[in-house]
Chain A
Amino acid sequence: MRYPVPSTCVDHEGKFFSANGISPVRTWDGYASDSGVAAVPEPATGVTVTSYGSGEIAGVRYAYYRYVDADGNAGNVSPLSEPFTPAYITKVITGATNATPIVITTEDAHGLVTGETVKISSVNGAYTANGTWVVTVLTDTTVSLDGSAGLGDYTDGGELNQGVAALVYSAVEVPSDSRVVKRQILRNKDGNAQVFYIDIDSTDLVATSFTSYSTDDDLTEAVTIVATTGENIALSSHSEPPPFKRYMTYHQSRLWLVGDVRYNEGAVLVTNGSASVTGIGHTGWTSSMVGWEFFVRSTGTNQVYTISAINTTTQVITLSENYTGTTNQYAFYAVRPGDDVRRTIYYSGLEDTVAFDLDLAVTMPDDQGAGDITGLMSYSSTLHVMFEHSLYRLSYQVSPSGDGDIRRASARGCLNQNCYVLVDDVAYMLDRKGFWAYYGNDQEALGAKVQPLFQMDSDVRINFERSEHFHAAHDSMNETVKWFVCLKGLRYPKHAVCYNYRNKRWWIEEYTCPITANSLGELGNTPQLFLGTDGARTLAFGHVPIDGARRENGTVNGTVTSATTISITDSTATFSSQWVGLPLLIVSGKGRGQRRMISAATTTKLSVVQPWVIRPDTTSVYQVGGFQGLYRTGWFRYVQTGNDEHRGLELSYEPADTGYCATRKYLDRNTVAENAGYTRSSADGDGISTTDGEPEFVVDLTKSSGFVAKYDDGFLEYRVDGARHMQLEVEIVPDGERLEVSGINLLGLRAKGG
């Protein structure tokens, strides 16, 4: 199945969280053997309370119980038990004196012994008799209540219950969830049903019954069940994070969750009059989708159904009612959470990131033009909620749902939570309209020069069908933001639209492999941008000039001695089996520019995954793990002053033992580079070699000066049809060490129109 791209964050305790909208939120503390589902489940049924023996425990009792995980996080409590009045002996009261102490008369022999505890209730008139007391026996039917004082004459009513020695909690559920490491039973004290106390705290996960001999005085660890507002907070404030929200962030000591998944993988078989829907293809429905809405694109229906059950093994959905549309053997469909929760923002307790109160949530305004929620951004002291076409600001003082204020901050949006980068106080974002910068109280559209990427009639445009996989990275060393996007219908991004925010320059980079994710971290105590790609590989951006291959382990470059349609052979090479899975680039000669993945390696032969379009020959130079760097200037106008003008090129670079660097010249909008026109060795060309018939001016990287120049003859031209515009292309392929071209000086040119 295809999993939605998840979002991640880290809380104040350093816990790692991830959410994907179709599975429970997961967490990891960096020490456990693996991540687990965040928070703790709650028991479904209440506990039953009974008593044992005679003793001091008297008065009406209630009990909850709850599960606790290894980190000490407690889940919601169970439903409340039925009220239980402990009574070893129960007697009807017929009289109570208005004296100190009060003397109680029972209807028949009470059977008590001096020093035992009783609960007196429902006495009218002599109201101060009601309560829990230690008694002194006077006769078979009378007792005095130690410490009592009469304040009224008895009229009628009254019941005497002798306290019990122990409370017995039974019907306690055995947890099936591996997160649970212990169970706690909470009970109230006599006369108070607001605050409960931990009575049982047991790691026994098997027993269904527990006995407590603790008196009220023994109970010390209080748990507030009912808030001062009267709300029962323990029933809901420790709920698990909602699994149907996919974007999360950590902001002001809370975990926040928004956005949902519109899931439509595969197709469905729907039958008129049946509630069963069968998945076709890799539907991958999860149990978290129960309760979601189900839509089907079929004739005869536009009804929305609710999913009541999912068999995740057979991939069969059961709807809450029979399907009323036309039977369809293979219909397109979609499932998504209900409209009531789609605009809802959930947040955790303060500094309690695994405890969610699902009744306390913020609902975003019904802004039809904003589109779907696409993410969250913690910006300054406020939380920003990103939509496809809008940006909202949420601020609050105490409680987000209580005094939260939501205002629209911009009419621009963001594609997803990974498509923005914060640089100082500026958020650089990408939406369907283009790139833009958000300054908090102001905004600015960016990138007029790359706007054709967003236009439908453009040859090269962004494929928004795959926007889920777009992401932005901040290359802080080069003061550049890179948006990795899919062009031309590619599944994963292989191109980055780059913006240098210092120089306000734009360019597009193409990568040899898909760049599917990124994260800024550290490598050797220096900032490092990590990139994710295919084959579960992680790349260190800008750190290594070749992809995965090290010269110490085998030959990484050379000249081909023979080739087939799916291999090359270098009889002088000692290739490593580690080269399998790495890219192989034909750097120069026949077949130049072709790149293939290596599928097998012997000592002298490398096989590739896809056949060569142009089969290399003995002129071909190859590079294992080669990254090809291409830079092309804009068009420049040749200077025509009427005087002799030198035209030429000067190139400065860092000398290198190996690697490849060449330039090509394009004239007057021609898409084919100009032929060098002559053959010359590096020695004859002062560091630049050429081959007649080929366009490359190959630079001798070993030249210790790090400088080459190629000057054309003195030039004086008045003819109209001479070359008027020129564009230069520089190509580099490093070989195991950093290759840097530091300067390009073009002579005899001026900027177009300038």
Chain B
Amino acid sequence: MNRGRVTLGEYLALSVLCRTVANPPLVANPASAPNVSIYDNDFTKIVDAQKMPPKDLPNAVGLFEIHQPIDSTFSVGHYTVLYRWSDGVSTGAATDTFEVVAGGDAVGATTAMKFYRRPDSDWIATHSDLAGTFKFRKNPRLRP
């Protein structure tokens, strides 16, 4: 399925419902945590076999979800998501797509800020959830 359009700095929820390869397939927990890989439009692997945590065990059997930060690894374009898992005998797979569109910022949302005054200048210290460090911007003013 298409996971929609996101901008840099957002979190994209990627989830997969693991099934057995039996006919008919049955929803079941895999033998180990499923992997997710993300490929860009040139099929270059951007995220390599990242293991996915379960969504809500034991209430949601077979459902795994990871909140993928759209950080500086990504740029504007289309992406393909490949999920792979094993039921101990055979390997299952599923795919998704999503698009990163212009806008946002790779460091994500500002999660803390502090107006900081020094004798010679004013600063706004902002902490973003993906960068994890403070960025200091001097003498705040309205954007022209």
Contact of A282 among B69, B115, B142 (CB under 8 A): B69
Interface residues in B24-53 by Cβ distance below 8 A to A read 30-33, 50-53
- A599 touching B103 by the CB < 8 A rule? yes
Q: List 28 A-B contacts (CB under 8 A).
A: A6-B112, A18-B134, A28-B136, A266-B53, A281-B53, A282-B50, A282-B69, A492-B109, A517-B110, A519-B113, A521-B115, A522-B115, A523-B140, A530-B124, A532-B126, A533-B109, A535-B103, A535-B104, A536-B108, A540-B140, A540-B142, A548-B143, A597-B103, A599-B7, A599-B102, A599-B103, A600-B102, A609-B5
Contacting pair A16 B116 (CB below 8 A): yes
In chain B, what residue has the closest Cβ to A597?
B103
Binds B, one of A7-15, A496-504, A697-705, A741-749: A7-15
Partner of A10, one of B7, B33, B110, B116: B116
What is the predominant secondary structure among interface residues of chain B facing chain A? Answer: strand
Q: Which residues of A contact B64 (CB under 8 A)?
A: 330
Instruction: State the CA gap A26–B114 with chains docked (Å).
Output: 14
Residues A535 and B7 in contact in the complex (CB < 8 Å), given A30-B116, A267-B33, A530-B115:
yes
Query: Is there contact, CB below 8 Å, between B51 and A280?
Result: yes
Please, which residues of chain A bring their CB within 8 A of the CB of B54?
Answer: 267, 330, 332
> How does the 8 Å CB contact mask read for A103-114 relative to B, with 1 for contact and 0 for none?
000000000000
CA distance A418 to B110 in the complex (A): 14
Contact among A14, A516, A543 for B118, CB-based, below 8 A: A14
Q: How far is the CA of A26 from the CA of B136 in the complex (A)?
A: 13
* Apart from the given pairs A523-B141, A538-B140, 8 other A-B contacts in the complex at a CB distance below 8 Å: A18-B112, A280-B51, A514-B109, A519-B113, A530-B113, A534-B105, A581-B102, A597-B7
> What is the distance, in angstroms, from A532's C-beta to the closest C-beta of chain B?
3
B133 at the interface (CB under 8 A from A): yes
Chain B residue at smallest Cβ distance from A529: B115
Interface residues of B in 112-144 (CB under 8 A from A): 112-119, 121-130, 132-137, 140-144
Residues in A neighbouring B111, C-beta threshold 8 A: 3, 5-6, 469, 516-517, 532
Chain A residues numbered 280-297 whose CB sits less than 8 Å from any CB in chain B: 280-282
A563: Cβ under 8 A from any B Cβ: no
Q: B72-97: which have CB < 8 Å to A?
A: none
Distance, CA A599 to CA B101, complexed state (A): 6
Q: Does A544 sit at the interface, judged by CB under 8 A?
A: yes
Residues of A within 8 A of B61 (CB): none
Q: Collect the chain B residues with CB atoms within 8 Å of residue A418's CB.
A: 112
The 8 closest A-B pairs by CB, nearest first: A521-B115, A532-B110, A267-B53, A581-B103, A599-B101, A536-B105, A30-B118, A3-B132
Q: Is there contact, CB below 8 Å, between B33 and A329?
A: yes
Residues on A with C-beta less than 8 A from B50 are: 281-282
* Residues on A facing B (Cβ under 8 Å): 1-3, 5-8, 10, 14, 16, 18, 20, 23, 26, 28, 30-31, 35, 266-267, 269, 279-282, 329-330, 332, 418, 469, 491-492, 514, 516-523, 530, 532-538, 540, 543-544, 548, 550, 580-581, 597-600, 609-610
Cβ of B130: which chain A residues have Cβ within 8 Å of it?
Answer: 3
Q: Which of A269, A330, A597 contacts B57 (CB 8 A)?
A: A330
| Cα(A530)–Cα(B117), bound, Å | 14
* From A31, A266, A533, A580, contact of B110 by CB (8 A): A533
Q: Is B66 an interface residue (CB 8 A)?
A: yes
A174 and B119 CA atoms in complex are apart in Å by 37
Question: B residues within 8 A CB of A279?
Answer: 51
> Are B115's CB and A517's CB within 8 A?
no
Q: Give min CB distance, B78 to chain A, whole Å.
A: 13
- Asked if B121 and A30 make an inter-chain contact with CB atoms under 8 angstroms apart, the answer reads yes
- Min CB distance A644 to B, Å, is 52
Chain A residues with Cβ below 8 Å from B33 are 267, 269, 280, 329-330
Would you call B142 and A544 a contact (CB within 8 A)? yes
B107 within 8 A of partner (CB): yes
Does B113 lie within 8 Å of A517, measured CB to CB? yes
Contacts of A469 in B (CB 8 A): 111
Q: How far is the CA of A2 from the CA of B66 in the complex (A)?
A: 12
CB distance from B75 to the nearest CB of A (A): 13
B32 and A329 within 8 A (CB): yes
Q: Which of A516, A522, A544 contacts B122 (CB 8 A)?
A: A522
Q: Please indicate the chain A residues that have their CB under 8 angstroms from the CB of B134 in the complex.
A: 6, 18, 26, 28, 35
Within the complex, the shortest CB–CB distance from B12 to chain A, in Å, comes to 12
Are A600 and B51 touching (Cβ within 8 A)? no
| Contact of B112 with A5 in the complex, beta carbons under 8 Å | yes
Q: Which residue of A lies closest to B119 (CB)?
A: A14
Candidates A8, A523, A599; contact of B114 at CB < 8 Å: A8
B63–chain A nearest beta-carbon distance, Å = 11
Bound form: Cα–Cα A418–B113 in Å: 11
Contacts of A281 in B (CB 8 A): 50-53, 66
Bound complex: CA A16 to CA B117 (Å)? 10
Do residues B103 and A516 form an inter-chain contact, with CB atoms below 8 A? Answer: no
CB pair B4 A610 closer than 8 Å: yes
Contact A282 B114, beta carbon cutoff 8 Å: no
Q: How far is the CB of A527 from chain B (nearest CB, A)?
A: 10
Q: Among A16, A332, A599, point to the contact of B5 (Cβ < 8 A).
A: A599
Smallest CB-CB separation from B36: which chain A residue? A281
Docked-complex contact A521 and B140, CB < 8 angstroms: yes
**Nearest Cβ distance between residue A149 and chain B, in whole angstroms?**
61
On whether the beta carbons of B133 and A534 are closer than 8 Å, the reply is no
Chain B residue nearest in CB terms to A279: B51
Q: Are B113 and A609 in contact (CB under 8 A)?
A: no
Given contacts A281-B66, A519-B113, whether A536 and B126 have CB atoms under 8 Å apart is yes
Query: Given A18-B127, A281-B52, A532-B113, does the pair A609, B7 have CB atoms closer than 8 Å?
Result: yes
- In the assembled complex, how far is the CB of residue A334 from the closest CB belonging to chain B, in whole angstroms? 13
How far is it, in angstroms, between the C-alpha of A591 and the C-alpha of B117 when the chains are bound? 45
Q: Which residues of A contact B140 (CB under 8 A)?
A: 521, 523, 530, 538, 540
Interchain CB contact under 8 A, A7 and B102: no
Nearest B residue to A607 via CB reads B101
Which residues from chain A contact B133 at a C-beta distance below 8 Å? 26, 35
Q: What distance in Å separates the Cβ of B84 from its nearest Cβ neighbour in chain A? A: 14
With CB as the reference atom, state the residue of chain B lying closest to A553: B144
**What CA separation (Å) do A16 and B123 show in the bound complex?**
11
> Which residues of the other chain, B, contact A517 by a CB distance below 8 angstroms?
110-113, 126-127
The complex places the Cα of A535 from the Cα of B107 at a distance, in Å, of: 7
In this complex, which of B4, B32, B51, B116 has the most chain A Cβ atoms within 10 angstroms of its Cβ? B51
Of A23, A516, A522, most buried by chain B (CB within 10 Å of CB) is A516
How many Å lie between the Cα of A526 and that of B134 in the bound state?
A: 25
Bound together, the chains give a CA A532 to CA B127 distance in angstroms of: 9
CB distance from A109 to the nearest CB of B (A): 70
Q: Nearest Cβ in chain B — how far from A729, in angstroms?
A: 31
The chain B residue sitting closest to A544, CB to CB, is B142
Closest CB of chain A to B65's CB: distance in Å? 9
Q: How far is the CA of A533 from the CA of B112 in the complex (A)?
A: 10
> Would A2 and B129 count as touching, CB distance under 8 A?
yes
Residues of B within 8 A of A280 (CB): 33, 51-53
Closest A residue, CB atoms, query B5: A609
| B128 nearest in chain A by CB position | A536
